[in-house]
């Protein structure tokens, strides 16, 4: 078949795939619609929901006899040396190509949520830390580096980023999200997509759609969100990442919304995604998601019915194994239960993507170009920079920070001396090595304790664990209190342990009932504060925790969201002053542990008021973060004005560093809509810009607001721009306003769609 039209790279991809499909049998077409997970049934707990129960044994030779759509997690299932893994993957690809009569290899995919999930690969900060950086350009560079590592190892598709918007911080997967605001999630997530795609790797947007809005913050629970919440909060990040980022794949969510599972929803996966948004890539199932239509959702009686529902909805690829799209689908098509046209539609999309990736070309070769170093110095430097930018100084009321060089420091807490305290659930050590005791991490991860000793070489640094992360034992309190009492300052390092399905306090399936610190850590902190020694609280977590209990009692509070392999030096640098704190909160920090769910995107009825004794006002609002210097916001230009409902408006200001230290200000633009036809959030983010300024330096910014940014979903379900009053607010957080500009939109109501402006331009 070397002379067949489908082999001709000079022909358009569509013509090549049309020719190829015409030559394929039903078995060969369905083989392109599923993956194979080698080693998925290995002993030990799984690395996916219900893996051990759902993964059935498949004979390898039988599995690849007609071809194979995808190879599942060749690197991310067990520890393997990178070079050996790449060679093994190449051999598998050669074997797959040789086994089918067209010589077509598989698409190899891997997780890459916070770096390539492979042994010895760089562990970057988790996405919640990306959000805290407010730095899309740096996140894009990280995505590019991750993508290059994936491609060098022979991987074509990355299962990231997560674009779920936090709706309830008790949900275990908050660490995987970018934050609680759709504009922040969209802009930062789109940057990651651009980086990954620029390296030739297919980015996979997940989880489409509504996964983070599950009832009660329970993983895989039904979603209770209404039409407008989905349209105005959940969907915009996905639309931006597709339109501006060029993502070529979308992963269907596990969840159901209003009784319809996402994997069986043609309105979502075909009507919205393809017909309205124009998406032409592949939709892949979350692991075992198609089988869940039978076992968890109970909308299918058997595997064949599940396959029919998913194919009809628009799911092209079953992952990780052929439980439904394999023999059950072939039999159902032969029996007339499933139209073959659905198979052809999905196979065409898969083969078009393989054509784009060069997998249909005769000169395709899977062997790596040379030795692999998945954690080179340049990656570590980037991981360090992103970690430094993401650390949030929540409070420093008496100026305790930065610490003086000769300070006697007691470093106390269960997260102080554990390298895993830096890493999220989808880092390789947390995700996989739990099943491989005794295997080293594979990368160097300095702890906070080690980093503080290196940062303060002349200081006396003592330590005590105090307690575990989640166990109730308080026997270590006495030693911890003694170490604190002997010191000038106590650095209490508390937080989460990332894990899967209850093995951790944060991560997939690690949901919580309230936002108290895990275990007896709160009691340990009380005991440390009672010594009278100033306490710096350092939190290494995957979600925000309620801190009102200690407000005004702590010397300083520093928040880091699983900051990755270089997180220890980053935190130590902030404490010493070598690093100016520049992170801003991507999620609100609550005052009290109950009262959830709550995010800052509240209409008036969701805010504090006399109608309830519960005050949901956060202790630290979205966008909050302090620095070691001061900034003046000067020469504001933004007088009251009228613009049409399709017009734009500029507002400008100069930001000046008036302190004696270099520092970073994050200027944030919020929209307040006083009156609308449906209730609207009191404020919502529509623009931002990081500014790094040396002492005395100034920079002028112009935010170009377009009326499209005020659009929302009205009572009819249409997205509209309404005439009327608006207020633009500039501030350093969602809870503080420095300047206001009042606008009046004039003219008719405008219905807008995929052509609308999605972001606010910031000049220069």
Coil vs helix vs strand at 546: coil
* Cα–Cα dist 671/681, whole Å: 9
For the sheet with 535-541, list strands across it: 392-395, 556-561, 535-541, 489-495, 409-412, 461-464
| CA distances to 232, 265, 673, 680 from 646, in Å | 19, 33, 16, 20
Is there a contact between 578 and 660 (Cβ–Cβ < 8 Å)? no
The residue ranges of the chain whose pLDDT is under 50 are 40-47, 50-56
pLDDT for 370: 86
Q: How far apart are the first and last CA of the chain?
A: 55
Could you tell me how far CA 397 lies from the centroid of its own chain?
Answer: 32
Is there a contact between 570 and 579 (Cβ–Cβ < 8 Å)? yes
pLDDT for 127: 98
| CA distances to 230, 537, 677, 725, 735 from 674, in Å | 22, 39, 10, 7, 17
Nearest to 32 by CA among 73, 72, 68: 68
**Which residue in this structure is represented by tokens 């304790």?**
449
> Which 8-state DSSP code applies to residue 314?
T
Query: Would you tell me how many other CB atoms lie within 10 Å of the CB of residue 22?
Result: 10
H helix or E strand, kind and range, residue 350:
helix 340-356
Coil vs helix vs strand at 307: helix
* Cα–Cα dist 306/325, whole Å: 9
pLDDT for 69: 97
Structure tokens at 348: 């065409």
Is there a contact between 172 and 224 (Cβ–Cβ < 8 Å)? no
* Cα–Cα dist 461/452, whole Å: 8
Query: Would you tell me how many other CB atoms lie within 10 Å of the CB of residue 1?
Result: 12
Is there a contact between 616 and 698 (Cβ–Cβ < 8 Å)? no
pLDDT for 513: 95
Nearest to 235 by CA among 270, 207, 259, 258: 207
* Cα–Cα dist 688/756, whole Å: 19
φ, ψ at 284 (rounded to 5°): -110, 150
pLDDT for 57: 59
Supply the pTM of this predicted model. 0.96
**Which residue in this structure is represented by tokens 């299962």?**
159
Q: Which domains does the chain have, with CATH numbers?
A: 388-604 (3.40.50.1700), 631-763 (2.60.40.10)
pLDDT for 474: 98
Nearest to 653 by CA among 683, 696, 698: 698
For the sheet with 739-746, list strands across it: 641-644, 739-746, 724-731, 663-672, 684-693
For the sheet with 631-637, list strands across it: 631-637, 648-657, 698-706, 761-763
H helix or E strand, kind and range, residue 389:
helix 377-390
| CA distances to 95, 128, 392, 496, 619 from 544, in Å | 48, 10, 12, 10, 11
């Amino acid at each position: 078949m070397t002379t067949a039209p489908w082999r001709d790279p000079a022909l358009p991809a569509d013509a090549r795939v049309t020719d190829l499909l015409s030559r394929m049998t039903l078995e060969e077409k369905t083989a392109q619609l599923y993956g194979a997970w080698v080693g998925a049934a290995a002993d030990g707990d799984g690395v996916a929901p219900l893996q051990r129960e759902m993964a059935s044994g498949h004979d390898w030779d039988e599995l690849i006899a007609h071809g194979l759509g995808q190879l599942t997690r060749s690197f991310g299932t067990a520890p393997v040396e990178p070079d050996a893994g790449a060679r093994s993957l190449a051999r598998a690809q050669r074997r797959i190509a040789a086994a089918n009569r067209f010589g077509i290899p598989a698409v190899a995919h891997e997780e890459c949520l916070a770096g390539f999930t492979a042994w010895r690969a760089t562990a970057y900060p988790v996405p919640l830390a990306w959000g805290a950086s407010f730095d899309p350009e740096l996140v894009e560079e990280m995505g590019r580096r991750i993508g290059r590592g994936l491609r060098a190892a022979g991987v074509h598709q990355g299962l990231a980023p997560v674009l779920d918007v936090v709706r309830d911080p008790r949900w275990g997967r908050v660490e995987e999200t970018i934050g609680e605001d759709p504009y922040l999630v969209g802009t930062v997530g789109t940057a990651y997509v651009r980086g990954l795609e620029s390296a030739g790797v297919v980015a996979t947007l997940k989880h489409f759609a509504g996964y983070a809005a599950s009832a009660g913050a329970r993983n895989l629970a039904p979603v209770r969100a209404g039409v407008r919440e989905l349209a105005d909060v959940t969907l915009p990040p996905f639309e931006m990442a597709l339109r501006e980022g060029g993502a070529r794949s979308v992963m269907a969510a596990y969840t159901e919304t209003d009784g319809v599972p996402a994997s069986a929803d043609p309105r979502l996966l075909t009507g919205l995604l393809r017909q309205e948004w124009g998406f032409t890539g592949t939709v892949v199932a979350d692991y075992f998601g198609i089988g869940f239509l039978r076992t968890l959702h109970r909308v299918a009686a058997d595997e064949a019915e599940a396959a029919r529902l998913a194919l009809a909805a628009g799911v092209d690829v079953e992952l990780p194994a052929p439980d439904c799209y394999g023999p059950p689908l072939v039999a159902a098509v032969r029996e007339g239960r499933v139209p073959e046209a659905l198979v052809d539609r999905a196979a065409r999309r898969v083969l078009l993507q393989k054509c784009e990736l060069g997998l249909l070309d005769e000169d395709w070769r899977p062997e790596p170009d040379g030795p692999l170093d998945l954690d080179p110095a340049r990656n570590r430097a980037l991981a360090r920079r992103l970690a430094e930018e993401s650390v949030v100084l929540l409070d420093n009321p008496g100026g305790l920070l930065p610490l003086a060089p000769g300070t006697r420091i007691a470093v106390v807490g269960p997260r102080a001396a554990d390298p895993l305290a830096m890493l999220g659930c989808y880092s390789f050590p947390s995700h996989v090595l739990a099943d491989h005791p005794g295997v080293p991490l594979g990368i160097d991860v300095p702890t906070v304790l080690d980093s503080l000793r290196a940062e303060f070489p002349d200081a006396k640094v003592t330590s005590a664990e105090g307690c575990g992360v989640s166990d109730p034992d308080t026997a270590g309190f006495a030693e911890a209190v003694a170490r604190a009492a002997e010191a000038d300052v106590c650095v209490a390092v508390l937080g989460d342990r990332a894990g899967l399905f209850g093995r951790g306090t944060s991560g997939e399936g690690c949901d919580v009932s309230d936002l108290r610190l895990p275990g007896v850590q709160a009691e340990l902190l009380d005991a440390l504060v009672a010594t009278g020694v100033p306490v710096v609280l350092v939190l290494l977590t995957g979600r925000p925790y309620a801190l009102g209990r200690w407000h005004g009692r702590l010397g300083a509070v520093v928040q880091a969201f699983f900051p990755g392999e270089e997180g220890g030096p980053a935190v130590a640098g902030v404490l010493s002053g070598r690093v100016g704190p520049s992170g801003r909160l991507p999620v609100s920090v609550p005052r009290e542990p109950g009262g959830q769910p709550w995010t800052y995107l509240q209409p008036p009825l969701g805010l504090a008021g006399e109608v309830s004794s519960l005050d949901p006002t956060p202790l630290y609002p979205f966008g909050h973060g302090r620095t070691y210097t001061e900034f003046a916001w000067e020469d504001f230009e933004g007088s009251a004005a009228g613009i049409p409902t399709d017009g734009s408006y500029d507002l400008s200001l100069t930001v000046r560093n008036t302190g004696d230290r270099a520092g970073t200000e994050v200027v944030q633009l919020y929209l307040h809509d006083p009156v609308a036809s449906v209730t609207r959030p009191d404020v919502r983010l529509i623009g931002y810009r990081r500014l790094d300024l040396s002492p005395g330096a100034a920079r002028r910014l112009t935010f170009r607001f377009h009326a499209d940014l005020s659009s929302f979903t009205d009572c009819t379900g249409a997205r509209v721009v309404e005439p009327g009053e608006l207020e633009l607010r500039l501030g350093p957080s969602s809870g503080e306003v420095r300047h206001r500009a009042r606008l009046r939109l004039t003219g008719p109501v405008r219905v807008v769609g995929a052509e609308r402006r999605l972001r606010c331009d910031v000049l220069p």
